[in-house]
Amino acid sequence: MVLSDRCIRNEVKQGRIIVEPFDDSCVQPASLDIHLARSFQVFEYWKYPHYIDLRQPLDTLSREVEIDDIDYFSLQPSHFVLGSTMEHITIPNDIMGRLEGKSSLGRVGLLIHATAGYIDPGWKGTLTLELYNVAPMPIHLYPGMKISQISFHRLTTPAELPYGSPELGSKYLDQVGPTPTRYYQERGQPQLMSLSDIKLSSSKKAHQTKGNELRQWLLGSEFQGNIKKLAEALEAPTTTVANWIYTGAKPSLKYRARIFSLTKLSSYASDSTDNTLNLDIAANK
């Protein structure tokens, strides 16, 4: 059931749907207009590595650009950027949302989402917009302009596991601003490998088990699945750490000692030889 304007106002009044800031004049017959924030994530396709590997962290794939309230962002033809809503939105466990473009903007060739039009029950945060210009000329985007609209749909029953539940491994809860992809945190990442990749030798399978164990620890740690932060804590290259987790590459003795010191995972526990190395590392820090 799609909520009408009357129902939307009632849900907001009761504090079940939270929209900050909320402007009552933006309530439409069966939707709510939302506004464009001032920050954008711009893809730097001219920089290395010049491709998108969905098994790796992609934090360096784009950079954030922020514009003033009186300025504008010029979205060039056939260009794709990430934007964000000004509004921080919270949805209860028995309601989901649909993000839709505005007709007036669609008529000049502006698409506001590529696929991410679904807002889960239990969602909290700003919404990342996938902005694409299909027009033959640039489109100027202004902070605070009405950029899209949300319709709200009541579920038949409250969701058993709303967005943010630990079992789901939700990647974007409480996000603020245009947030780059965190697809590399998907639990099913090994499915991206080809059949030849999956046919591992027995020794490599053992290394893969260690990698999976480290990945599970990372998802539940203070780093919240962020490989880049783990790499910084271990003083190791980000690509090296990603290889340990996703390809089963074996860390060197030096890094095994550091991993064990940080995670206390038994599979990385040092033997007598490693203990000596661990002491040397500790002494050199």
**Domain positions in the chain:** 5-168, 193-284
The reported pLDDT for the residue numbered 279 is 43
Contact 82, 39 (CB under 8 A): no
Strand spans (E) along 128-283? 128-133, 139-141, 146-154
Task: Say if residue 246's pLDDT is above 80.
Answer: no
> Residue 93, Cα to own-chain centre: how many angstroms?
21
Contact 64, 177 (CB under 8 A): yes
What is the per-residue pLDDT across 144-185, written as a single tens digit (0 to 9) for each?
999 999 999 999 999 999 988 887 878 888 788 888 777 777
Considering 20, 44, 130, 235, which one is annotated as catalytic?
130
What is the per-residue pLDDT across 82-96, written as a single tens digit (0 to 9) for each?
999 999 999 999 999
What is the per-residue pLDDT across 12-59, written as a single tens digit (0 to 9) for each?
999 999 999 999 999 999 999 999 999 999 988 777 667 778 777 777
Candidate CATH numbers 1.20.1560.10, 1.10.150.110, 3.20.10.10, 2.70.40.10; the one for domain 5-168: 2.70.40.10
Answer yes or no: 130 catalytic. Answer: yes
pLDDT grade for 207, boundaries at 50, 70 and 90: very low
